């Protein structure tokens, strides 16, 4: 394999953009990493070896992809922007262990891609610099898919990362915090300043590690119902759980007493705010809801 200069530098990135006449699309969150040290830190934290296969989302011009390929056994990179495919074929041409797939990750058959390209590897993980505008849908798509992927190392907008790892009663805590906690154990790896991107975004980033639980944190037969109940607690953050829940049930205003009975059965004080409730307390609401037959979720 011939030696090439890292893509993740300002000079090389500028050369590539100029060579291909690429105009970046803000709508696709295209901000390219130009600091190799950040990438190397992620790779070290993820303990990537040649027995590790990696799925990447949004490779851009390949700054993260090439360094993953140097360490991992194989990399599958999903890129939605057709314009970037010939650029990636150029920048990543020295590597024979990369598969580029020009598809929207939310519509792609990830399971088939794993079976076709990664069946021989001991472990498949996700490492990605996720576009800010679609971070949450991508994460939930992976976590809800049932794929045998245990570890995720994802760079995202700092505000979203703080919401993911937030605890009850904090400003950042919300339904996303509960959904991530339901499926994974999350921790912050490191902060990433906006200055290491080209062009620099308006906000700093953060790298989060997600380790998928063997089973969800709480045992629910219907995750759909559980998440409706958790999201319902945050529809109006300054309102009590009693007031919030009047908006998520059919005829909620008229069913106030029934909602009171639901909360009482779950041993939740009706004047508490949704952001003060832990995932275990929302589980109690879910269990109480499953036992009553009067309230209907919208």
Rounded distance between C-alpha atoms, residue 16 and residue 210, angstroms: 32
Q: Which residue has the higher pLDDT, 116 or 202?
A: 116
Please determine, for residue 77, whether its predicted confidence score (pLDDT) is greater than 90. yes
Would the annotation count 104 as a binding residue? yes
Please determine, for residue 2, whether its predicted confidence score (pLDDT) is greater than 70. no
Is beta strand 52-57 parallel, antiparallel or unpaired with respect to 123-129?
Answer: parallel
What is the pLDDT at residue 183?
Answer: 97
Nearest residue to 157 (alpha-carbon basis) of 31, 4, 23, 294:
31
Please answer whether residues 171 and 143 qualify as being in contact, where contact means their C-beta atoms are separated by less than 8 angstroms.
no
What is the pLDDT at residue 298?
Answer: 85
Rounded distance between C-alpha atoms, residue 288 and residue 263, angstroms: 8
What is the pLDDT at residue 1?
Answer: 45
pLDDT digits (tens, 9 = 90+) for 115-146: 999 999 999 999 999 988 889 999 999 999 98
What is the pLDDT at residue 219?
Answer: 96
Rounded distance between C-alpha atoms, residue 204 and residue 184, angstroms: 24
Q: Which residues pair with 129 in a beta bridge?
A: 155
What is the pLDDT at residue 3?
Answer: 58
What is the pLDDT at residue 22?
Answer: 81
Q: Which residue has the tokens 């996720």?
A: 130
What is the rounded average pLDDT for all residues in the chain? Answer: 93
What is the pLDDT at residue 200?
Answer: 86
Q: What mean pLDDT is predicted for residues 13-26?
A: 84
What is the pLDDT at residue 28?
Answer: 60
pLDDT band at residue 31 using 50, 70 and 90 as cut-offs: confident
Please answer whether residues 113 and 92 qualify as being in contact, where contact means their C-beta atoms are separated by less than 8 angstroms.
no
pLDDT band at residue 249 using 50, 70 and 90 as cut-offs: very high
Would the annotation count 58 as a binding residue? yes
219 Cβ contact list (under 8 Å, min separation 6): none
The 10 Å CB-count burial string (b at 16+, else e) for 75-108 is: bbbbbbbeebeebbeebbeebebbebbeeebeeb
Q: Which residue has the higher pLDDT, 1 or 93?
A: 93
Q: Which residue has the higher pLDDT, 11 or 4?
A: 11
Rounded distance between C-alpha atoms, residue 118 and residue 96, angstroms: 14
Please answer whether residues 258 and 294 qualify as being in contact, where contact means their C-beta atoms are separated by less than 8 angstroms.
yes
All structural domains of the chain, each given as residue ranges with its CATH number in brackets, are: 10-212 (3.40.50.150), 223-291 (1.10.8.100)
Rounded distance between C-alpha atoms, residue 61 and residue 114, angstroms: 22
Q: What mean pLDDT is predicted for residues 229-233?
A: 96
Q: What mean pLDDT is predicted for residues 277-287?
A: 98
Nearest residue to 130 (alpha-carbon basis) of 67, 208, 243:
208
Would the annotation count 293 as a binding residue? no
Please determine, for residue 45, whether its predicted confidence score (pLDDT) is greater than 50. yes
Rounded distance between C-alpha atoms, residue 252 and residue 244, angstroms: 9
Would the annotation count 146 as a binding residue? no
Q: Which of 23-27, 93-97, 117-121, 291-295 has the lowest mean pLDDT?
A: 23-27
Q: What mean pLDDT is predicted for residues 34-53?
A: 94
Please determine, for residue 94, whether its predicted confidence score (pLDDT) is greater than 90. yes
Would the annotation count 79 as a binding residue? yes
What is the pLDDT at residue 152?
Answer: 98
Please determine, for residue 26, whether its predicted confidence score (pLDDT) is greater than 70. no
What is the pLDDT at residue 246?
Answer: 95
What is the pLDDT at residue 199?
Answer: 85
Rounded distance between C-alpha atoms, residue 81 and residue 88, angstroms: 11
What pTM was estimated for this model as a whole?
0.91
């Amino acid at each position: 394999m011939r030696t090439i200069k890292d893509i993740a530098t300002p000079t090389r990135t500028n050369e590539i953009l100029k060579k291909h006449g690429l105009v970046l699309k803000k709508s696709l969150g295209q901000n390219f990493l130009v600091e190799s040290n950040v990438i190397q830190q992620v790779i070290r934290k993820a303990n990537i070896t040649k027995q590790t296969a990696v799925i990447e989302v949004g490779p851009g011009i390949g700054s993260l992809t090439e360094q993953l390929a140097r360490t991992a056994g194989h990399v599958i990179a999903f890129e939605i922007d057709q314009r970037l495919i010939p650029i990636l074929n150029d920048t990543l041409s020295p590597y024979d262990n990369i598969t580029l797939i020009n598809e929207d990750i939310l519509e792609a058959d990830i399971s088939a891609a794993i079976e076709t390209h990664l069946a021989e590897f001991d472990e498949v993980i996700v490492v990605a610099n996720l576009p800010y505008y679609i971070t949450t849908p991508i994460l939930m798509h992976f976590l809800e898919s049932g794929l045998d992927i245990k570890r995720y190392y994802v760079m995202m907008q700092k505000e979203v990362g703080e919401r993911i790892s937030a605890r009850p009663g904090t400003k950042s805590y919300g339904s996303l915090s509960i959904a991530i906690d339901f499926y994974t154990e999350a921790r912050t790896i490191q902060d990433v300043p906006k200055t290491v991107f080209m062009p620099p975004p308006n906000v700093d980033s953060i790298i989060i590690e997600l380790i998928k639980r063997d089973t969800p944190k709480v045992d629910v037969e219907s995750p759909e119902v559980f998440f409706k109940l958790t999201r319902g607690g945050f529809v109006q953050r300054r309102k009590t759980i009693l007031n919030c829940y009047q908006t998520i049930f059919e005829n909620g205003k008229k069913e106030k007493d029934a909602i009171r009975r639901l909360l009482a059965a779950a041993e939740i004080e009706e004047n508490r705010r949704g952001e003060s409730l832990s995932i275990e307390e929302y589980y109690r609401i879910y269990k109480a809801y499953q036992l009553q037959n009067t309230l209907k979720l919208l």
